[in-house]
């Protein structure tokens, strides 16, 4: 699966059996059979090519011979699922490939990734300009038709075992959207007064008030701690995509990042502090302790390094596994933090390695208790809890 680092390296390479640049997008939606067959022929030619490593078609990039190719960008993007259905409904066996869009240099491009796989691949029936039972093959930067000797050699050669091709990205699990491998975040570092200078919380009762309310005397101190953590970190979610032809089982992701002399903070969902309560009611059963649950992402302090781990039982071919729990990361200084990723699974002889980047902008602010209360008010007004209470009030009034 392509990422920013890979695209950067490909821009400096020339076209050949493992790479092609397309300035304009393929005509596919509402296009003629002849137009759509150009995309079909290119995928088949790369899949049948004599090569040792994965092939890529970069769409929205203009080739510059002898220099770095130029990123132009495209407006029209295609859907991977629609392409999979289109191609694999016409071939003698399933073609392993993937189509992915990504933002690069503030422009939208697309990448078709075609791993090494079993050959030969061809159409069962004529389609557009592509003939049935004809093996198209990439030779250099051109497409040709393989002769009988080539085709027989393709079938006789030992092909590498099909395996999962795993890739990690930042993600939005709510919208099921993969994000880029480089994200930005802000950390507000609060310089709060020491706990000894923060007063107890006291309930202000009227002389005629009776009830079961009791004050949490440590509320203000808990709130300062909670707000300090909440403003210092941002949640980051991850997803694992499998563009290969086989299922990845017992997939484990390990993410390591240095503490940067104590300036980097990592907290998982299990250890993230809960919103403190100012008052308690002994008759409110909703306040009782719930059974603990298992989290699919954890963060561990190993001394000078944070280790974030996630597990997935299976990642199906052409599918994405979305981790439901985030890890919260924050930095006390400006700069780019590198997350070194290693992905293990039963079907991989060697683990897959990758990198994710986060660019932090840190602000330090000295605050008192009133400032913290104002920040908490801002958080509550924008929270889902506040919206739920407003809806409930509107329903009661109606």
Tokens 């998982």, residue? 268
Q: What is the pLDDT of residues 346-383, one digit of tens each?
A: 988 889 999 999 999 999 999 999 999 999 888 888 77
Query: What is the pLDDT averaged over residues 126-130?
Result: 96
pLDDT of 247 above 50:
yes
Cα separation, 150 vs 147, whole angstroms: 5
Tell me, what's the pLDDT at 206? 60
pLDDT of 212 above 70:
no
Tell me, what's the pLDDT at 97? 92
Residue by residue, DSSP assigns 295-339 as: -SEEEEE-SSEEEEEEEEEEE-TTEEEE-SS-EEEEESS-EEEEE
Return the structure tokens found at 89. Answer: 């409904």
Tell me, what's the pLDDT at 158? 45
pLDDT of 238 above 70:
yes
C-beta neighbour count of 180 within 10 angstroms: 14
DSSP alpha helix (H) spans, the chain:
4-11, 33-48, 80-88, 148-156, 219-232, 369-381, 384-397
Percent of the chain at pLDDT exceeding 90: 65
pTM (two decimals): 0.58
pLDDT of 387 above 90:
no
Tell me, what's the pLDDT at 244? 84
Antiparallel, parallel or unpaired: β 55-59 and 19-22: parallel
- Give the pLDDT band (50/70/90) at residue 210: low
Tell me, what's the pLDDT at 19? 95
pLDDT of 293 above 90:
no
- How does the average pLDDT of the chain come out, rounded? 88
Find the angle CA(337)-CA(339)-CA(340) to the nearest 5 degrees.
140
Query: Regarding predicted confidence, which is higher, 271 or 156?
Result: 271
Query: What is the pLDDT averaged over residues 155-164?
Result: 62
Tell me, what's the pLDDT at 380? 82
Tell me, what's the pLDDT at 396? 64
pLDDT of 9 above 50:
yes
Tell me, what's the pLDDT at 42? 97
- Give the pLDDT band (50/70/90) at residue 312: very high
Tell me, what's the pLDDT at 153? 86
Return the structure tokens found at 67. Answer: 């220099």
CA 316 to chain centre: 16
Which helix H or strand E contains 61, and what residues bound it? strand 61-62
Return the structure tokens found at 100. Answer: 């992915």
pLDDT of 68 above 70:
yes
Tokens 């890739």, residue? 167
CA distances from 57 to 22, 44, 49, 107, 372 (A): 7, 12, 13, 16, 52
- Give the pLDDT band (50/70/90) at residue 231: very high
- In order of their start, the domains of the chain are 4-160 (3.30.950), 167-284+295-397 (2.60.40.10)
pLDDT of 160 above 80:
no
What residues are paired with 280 via a beta bridge?
Answer: 214
């Amino acid at each position: 699966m392509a990422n920013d680092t890979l695209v950067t390296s490909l821009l400096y390479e020339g076209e050949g059996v493992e790479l092609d640049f397309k300035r304009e997008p393929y005509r596919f939606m509402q296009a003629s059979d002849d137009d759509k067959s150009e995309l079909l022929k290119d995928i088949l030619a790369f899949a049948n090519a004599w090569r040792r490593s994965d092939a890529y078609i970069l769409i929205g990039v203009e080739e510059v011979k002898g220099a770095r190719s130029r990123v132009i960008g495209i407006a029209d993007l295609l859907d991977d699922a629609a392409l999979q259905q289109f191609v694999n409904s016409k071939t003698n066996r399933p073609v392993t490939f993937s189509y992915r869009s990504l933002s690069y240099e503030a422009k939208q491009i697309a990448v078709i990734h075609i791993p090494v796989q079993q050959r030969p691949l061809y159409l069962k029936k004529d389609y557009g300009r592509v003939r049935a039972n004809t093996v198209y093959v990439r030779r250099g930067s051109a497409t040709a038709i393989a002769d009988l000797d080539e085709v027989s050699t393709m079938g006789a050669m030992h092909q590498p075992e099909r395996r999962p091709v795993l890739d990690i990205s930042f993600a939005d699990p709510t919208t099921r959207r993969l994000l880029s491998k480089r994200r930005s975040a802000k950390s507000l570092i609060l310089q709060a007064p020491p706990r000894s200078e923060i007063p107890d919380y006291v309930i202000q009762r009227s002389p005629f008030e009776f009830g079961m309310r009791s004050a949490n005397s440590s509320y203000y101190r808990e709130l300062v701690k909670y707000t300090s953590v909440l403003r210092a970190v941002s949640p980051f979610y991850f997803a694992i995509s499998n563009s290969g032809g086989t299922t990845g089982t017992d997939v484990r992701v390990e993410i390591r990042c240095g503490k940067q002399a104590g300036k980097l903070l990592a907290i998982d969902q299990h250890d993230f502090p809960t919103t403190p309560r100012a008052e308690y009611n002994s008759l409110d059963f909703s306040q009782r302790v719930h059974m603990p649950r298992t989290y699919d992402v954890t963060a561990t302090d190993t001394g000078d390094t944070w280790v974030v781990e996630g597990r997935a039982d299976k990642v199906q071919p052409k599918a994405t596994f979305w981790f439901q729990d985030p890890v919260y990361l924050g930095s006390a200084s400006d700069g780019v933090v590198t997350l070194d990723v290693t992905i293990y699974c039963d079907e991989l002889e060697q683990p897959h390695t990758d990198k994710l980047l986060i660019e932090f902008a840190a602000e330090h602010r000295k605050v008192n208790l009133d400032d913290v209360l104002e920040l908490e008010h801002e958080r509550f007004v924008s929270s889902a809890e506040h919206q739920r209470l407003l809806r409930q009030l509107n329903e009661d009034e109606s």
